[in-house]
Amino acid sequence: MEYYNYLKSLHLIFVITWFAGLFYIVRLFVYQIEASEKPSPEKEILQEQFKIMSYRLWYIITWPSAVLATLFALSLLHINPAFVEMPWMQVKLGFVVFLIAYHFKCHAIFKELQHDKVKYSSNFMRIWNEGATIILFAVVFLVILKDAVNWIYGVIGIFLFSILIMLGFKFYKRIREKK
């Protein structure tokens, strides 16, 4: 138990850098997709630069952060296995499963874009970027509020937050289209 707070701190640091990587990689996907629609030689120059930036972000920051955050989390659960039995932790771990699935889908998109395969629009990627935001909000509220969370209000809150994000996206899209 003497190392518990150190492990918890390291876990939190790597969760933060993992999310930072996920937020930024999807923004790079947006830029890379938009670059694919530019005329030559601008298209090739931008795509090459975004590939380099994405590669470095993904393999130097995001993947290592995901692995280290997971290892420190498993260490914390090993030290205090009673946490797994707590309802809030079970829900949190469910969101972590969604986060890992989101990460792997981002990895698949990353690989496609590294090979110049564009399957999604930049608008889709802007919406996709909000997936990590929703997971982050859910996990932070679960961790901070724990058993004080009224599950019904929590689910309604996440649903309403998702709607607000989508409305914000549509509003921002209209502003961008006017420029």
* CB-neighbour burial class of residue 132 (10 A; exposed 0-12, middle 13-18, buried 19+): buried
Side-chain half-sphere exposure of 71, counting CA atoms within 13 A: 8
Two tokens, residue 73: 């989390």
Gap between the Cα atoms of 64 and 15, Å rounded: 11
Q: Taking CA 35 as the corner, what is the angle to CA 31 and CA 37, rounded to the nearest 5 degrees?
A: 130
Cα dihedral 37, 162, 130, 86 in deg (nearest 10): -160
State the Cα–Cα distance between residues 23 and 159, nearest whole angstrom.
Answer: 20
Q: Confirm whether residue 92 is marked as ligand binding.
A: yes
Q: Is 11 annotated as a binding residue?
A: yes
Structural tokens at position 11? 């876990």
CA atoms within 13 A on the CB side of 16: 6
Q: What are phi and psi of 39, to 5 degrees?
A: -75, 160
Residue positions in the annotated binding site? 11, 92
Binding residue positions for heme: 11, 92
